[in-house]
Amino acid sequence: MARAYSDDLRDRVAAAVLSGRSVREVAGAFGVSVASAVKWSQRLRDTGNAGSRPMGGHKQRVLAGEQEWMLWPAAGLVDTEIGCFHLSEAHNATKEVQPRVQA
């Protein structure tokens, strides 16, 4: 994976764009993409800092809230032939399950 551009370069590009030069001219002069020049100048204007944001870190699972019902077929809770729910007494006592309507 490519490394992030230095904060010094980001600041110089963003300052040049905000000083009135065209984004394409600045991007060509500094050897960066037009999209990067636009993004950095917007960030400098909005937050006062064109520096890089932290990379990586914990990302929330997209389907975290859907995990339970997605695992029903594996647990034998769904009859896939007719799409009915088969809940045991123990499961039924702890969870109230609403069937999902497929579009």
What is residue 21's predicted lDDT score, i.e. its pLDDT? Answer: 94
Question: Whole-prediction pTM value?
Answer: 0.52
What are the residue boundaries of the structural domains of the chain, listed by start? 7-47, 64-94
pLDDT band at 25 (very low <50, low <70, confident <90, very high): very high
Residue-wise pLDDT for 72-101, tens only, equals: 766 666 655 555 555 554 455 455 555 666
Residue-wise pLDDT for 35-66, tens only, equals: 999 999 999 999 888 888 777 777 777 777 77
Taking the alpha carbons at both ends of the chain, their separation in whole angstroms is: 40
**What one-letter code names the amino acid at 84?**
C
